[in-house]
Amino acid sequence: MFKLPPTQALTGHGSFKTYTFKIGKTRDASCVYCGEEDSPRHTLFSCERWAGIRRECEVGIGDVITANNMVDYMLQSETKWKEIERAMTRIMTTKEQDERRHEGTRNN
């Protein structure tokens, strides 16, 4: 599995429709899973598609992850960094695989 750094999620340059719409790669910024605006904040903290992964991460660090506390937790310990990085990697990797599959079916 290709391991993505948290930088992609933190900068918003990645498989987020708000970004791909901005650069002209997609026609809109709607999340393919729920229809909300697909921003990094939405993907990482509120989209129900990723709730299970978020819950596992929160159990691992012992608290609810939010946009306001994520970086603080990442800097607290290597264990928390790895737990959050693992969750982000799982989300982003799956999201990119889904996107490639969707593009493949659209082009066939």
The answer to whether residue 74 sits within a structural domain is yes
Beta-carbon contacts of residue 105 (< 8 Å; ≥ 6 apart): none
The answer to whether residue 26 sits within a structural domain is yes
Residue type, 6: P
| Separate counts of helices (H) and strands (E) for the chain | 6, 0
The answer to whether residue 64 sits within a structural domain is yes
pTM of the model: 0.84
Higher pLDDT, 39 or 12: 39
Its domain, for residue 62, covers 6-93
When divided into structural domains, the chain yields a total of 1
The answer to whether residue 106 sits within a structural domain is no
The answer to whether residue 33 sits within a structural domain is yes
Beta-carbon contacts of residue 99 (< 8 Å; ≥ 6 apart): 15, 32
The answer to whether residue 83 sits within a structural domain is yes
The answer to whether residue 39 sits within a structural domain is yes
pLDDT digits (tens, 9 = 90+) for 82-101: 999 999 999 998 998 988 88
